[in-house]
Amino acid sequence: MHCLLLPILLSFVAVSLTAAERPNVLIIVADDLGYNDVGFNGGKDIATPHLDKLAARSVRCTNGYVSHPFCSPTRAGLLTGRYQHRFGHENNPAWLPQSTKDGLPIDQITLPQLLKRAGYATGHVGKWHLGAHPQFHPMKRGFDESFAALGGGHLYFADGKGGEEYKIPLNRNGVDEPQRGYLTDQFGDEAAAYVQRHADGKPWMLYLAFNAPHTPLQAPENWLAKFADITDKNRRTYAAMVACMDDNIGKVLSALETTKQSENTLVTFVSDNGGPHLARKGNGMTDFADNSPLRGCKGDVYDGGIRVPFLVSWPAKLKPSVYSQPVIALDFFATSVSVASGEMPTDRAMDGVNLIPYLAGEKNEAPHKILFWRSGGLNGLHGARMGDWKYVAAAGKAPELYDLASDIGETKNLASEKPDVLKKLQDAVAEWEKGTVPPVFDGAKQGKPKTKKKSK
């Protein structure tokens, strides 16, 4: 139990700041971005100059994780600072505007709610995917304003073809409005405008959640032309989408610079999970994301599904560096509340920690003793990381144990050679699961809910 209480205690480590020193908080999330599809992680064929520039002034976390291998649960964990398994948000909610169950439970305290209490303006731009019912709307969950694609995905061009959820109107502050132009550009423009509007000295938070480069693979011709040398159509379109997202992140970073806010803005960047391998689904699409040198992809608890590009920048307090201890996007919650001089919840277990003392070199120990993953409920996939040891288990299969220090690709199963380490991790997972609940919604396919057949 001690190892599970440690994150709660550490989350109260605070940075002593005056009101004028409190930084703005900008959280940027990409959608289904491959680990090796950014320049700062070694990618070569997709230019990401703006993210690379951000990385050059950031702490680059080379063992940075998210709390789930696919979309909505990761976002639920990030915005609550808790393993989403504690409150049953383990699946992607279906697009069901009539359902008060399929979404981020309303009894969960969100990051924007706490930052509002601390005197921050709070804004959301981009993908939501945390429930379709009005009670789940971003402005009901702590955001002062929101420009959103409320579902789990969206068409990039207004005249494209797609299912109901992908064609719903965009939503500005609770009012639907039609889509204009290429969606990634709209999100970039809206985020940059938010930064420019909030240059009056009052601290602000912006949650910028791109849906790029998630499918459908759609990109403007001018961006496609820049990758004409990539022969695979899917990879070329994906590359254009990543580059366009990078360009729009550049717009936001430029707005920070022109309004003289870049030095005192805490900027974090992650993908919500690893890049997908759609070919395995038999849908005729070729793989287009690159998670190398990691094993696996979106949906896996191998590192290819959960280890992501991970940046933390705060030029006023953090020097550019590389940080190799395992960290997780759950930490953004405690970190943001701490630098905002806010108050963490005391009525529930919290799992993220304030990263600033670790990234600043004030604390040398690891921020987390163990990190946990689960997908598919108690009988689904399990993963845990303790130091360099990585545990992977699936129901009905032999457990797996890897030494990530020498085997980043998780190729050599050492479970039989290190039974003591294996047992320690298995016991830790069993203890952690005592604080979790089963999924509260089933993540059915998008569309109308199933209805029971009438009895004859």
Q: In this predicted model, what pLDDT tens digit does every residue of 68-90 receive, in sequence order?
A: 999 999 999 999 999 999 999 99
User: Is 71 annotated as catalytic?
Assistant: yes
User: Is 129 annotated as catalytic?
Assistant: yes
Which own/partner contact pairs does 137-141 have at CB distance under 8 Å and 24+ positions apart?
137/171, 137/174, 139/173, 139/174, 140/106, 141/79, 141/104, 141/110, 141/112, 141/113
* Separation of alpha carbons 376 and 441, rounded Å: 11
Give the pLDDT score at 287.
Answer: 85
Q: How far apart are the first and last CA of the chain?
A: 54
The CA radius of gyration of the chain, in Å to the nearest whole number, is 21
408-453 pLDDT, tens digit per residue, is 999 999 999 999 999 999 999 999 999 999 999 988 553 333 333 3
User: What angle (nearest 5°) sits at the alpha carbon of residue 134, between those of residues 131 and 140?
Assistant: 90
117-162 pLDDT, tens digit per residue, is 999 999 999 999 999 999 999 999 999 999 999 999 999 999 877 7
* Separation of alpha carbons 66 and 85, rounded Å: 13
173-207 pLDDT, tens digit per residue, is 999 999 999 999 999 999 999 999 999 999 999 99
371-415 pLDDT, tens digit per residue, is 999 999 989 999 999 999 999 999 889 999 999 999 999 999 999
* Separation of alpha carbons 299 and 69, rounded Å: 5
**Hey, which bits of 32-190 come out as E strands?**
59-61, 64-65, 121-127, 145-149, 170-172, 175-177
Which amino acid, 381? L
CATH 3.40.720.10 is the classification of domain 16-359: yes
8 A C-beta contact, residue 330 and residue 351: yes
* Separation of alpha carbons 382 and 372, rounded Å: 8
Strand partners, 328: 65
* Separation of alpha carbons 336 and 109, rounded Å: 14
Catalytic residue from among 129, 137, 214, 277: 129
Which amino acid, 341? S
Give the pLDDT score at 4.
Answer: 45
Percent of the chain with pLDDT over 90: 88
9-60 pLDDT, tens digit per residue, is 333 334 445 656 899 999 999 999 999 999 999 999 999 999 999 999 999 9
Give the pLDDT score at 19.
Answer: 59
32-43 pLDDT, tens digit per residue, is 999 999 999 999
* Separation of alpha carbons 25 and 340, rounded Å: 9
Domain ranges of the chain: 16-359
- For 299, residues 6+ apart whose C-beta sits below 8 A from its C-beta are 69, 70, 273, 276, 305, 375
Catalytic residue from among 50, 61, 68, 71: 71
> Is the whole model's pTM more than 0.85, yes or no?
yes
Residue 281 confidence class, pLDDT cut points 50, 70, 90: low
